[in-house]
A and B are shown apart, each in its own frame.
Chain A
Amino acid sequence: MEFFAWCVMAAGIGMGLGAIGTGIGQGHAIQGACEGVARNPGASGKILTTMMIGLAMVESLAIYVFVVAMIILFANPFTDQVLELLAK
């Protein structure tokens, strides 16, 4: 049973750590875009497109963590083995 408790903890803590890094990275990106638009409002369209691509790239890190968390929670490959060991 302890195995499943650790699984839930790993998913939660992992998602939190992943969100910290992604949040800081996206914040920097948006800061740069805001400064760029404030200096040259004419280029806002192009800045928006570039920022969106960058944000999607940064965001995919958090998405990987999310996918791993979901695998740990719902599709853990070791669940069957642990349940077998518990039944013994």
Chain B
Amino acid sequence: MTHPFLFLQWITEQLHLRVGEHVTYTWLVMAILIVVSFLASRSLTLVPSGVQNLMEAVVGGIEGLIEETMGEEGKAYFPLIATFALFILVCNLLGLIPGFYPPTANLNTNIALALTVFVLTHVVGIKKHGFGYIKHFMGPILWLAPLMLIIELISHLARPLSLSLRLFGNMYGHEVVLMIFLALVPLFLPIPMMLMGVLIAFIQTFVFTLLAMIYIAGALEEAH
């Protein structure tokens, strides 16, 4: 249930390589991001124009969002969060072009992203609080601790699951809906769905980065 013709897949077939379509298109997204970043930062000017202007607006927007959600502490995590945002946004928007496949419509890509967030939150928490990080799992009252420990563990383990499945479900669902409408009425009916796809791409990027920020901020704050 993807686009019937994926040109990078066709190229890998000609070369007799066995690489999944999500891997080849992830490489494409990486290439796009590297080239755009290079073009934007090649000749920095005080009065930005062109690509530099665009990237400054994007990076400034993400920086503002991080400061709003995480406060001053969040600035250390700006590279990670900004990378997530740019990567997921480009991946999602890539799916709207015929012949391209959004790497986020494959569960493997999303689980990689979600596990990064999951591991990072706990590494950050242990780094900040040391052994006292376990208080985050104990709940407010001591004699409730054995019960709270299980509940908190389950809720923490559900985070990467929900984070990856949400992005996967949205992007894959959009692909499926688009293909079904294309099979039913190929002429004009897919266009409103593609417009909604633009909206979904931006909202899911926003939600993923915002939840990653909230999880990291939750690990940073003191247990109560």
Contacts and interface: CB of A to CB of B under 8 A. Distances in A.
Contacts, number: 35
A60 B166 contact: yes
A63 B207 contact: no
By secondary structure, the A interface counts as: helix
Interface in A56-75: 56, 59-60, 63-64, 66-67, 70, 74
A52 B169 contact: no
Interface string A23-54: 00000000000000000000000000100110
Contacts of A63: 165-166, 169-170, 173
A47 B202 CA distance: 18
Contacts of B84: none
Contacts of A56: 166, 203-204, 207, 211
Q: Is the interface of B mostly helix, strand, loop or mixed?
A: helix
Q: Pick from B162, B165, B169, B170 the residue with the most CB of A within 10 Å.
A: B169
Given A63-B170, A63-B173, A66-B173, A49 B165 contact: no
Interface of A: 49, 52-53, 56, 59-60, 63-64, 66-67, 70, 74
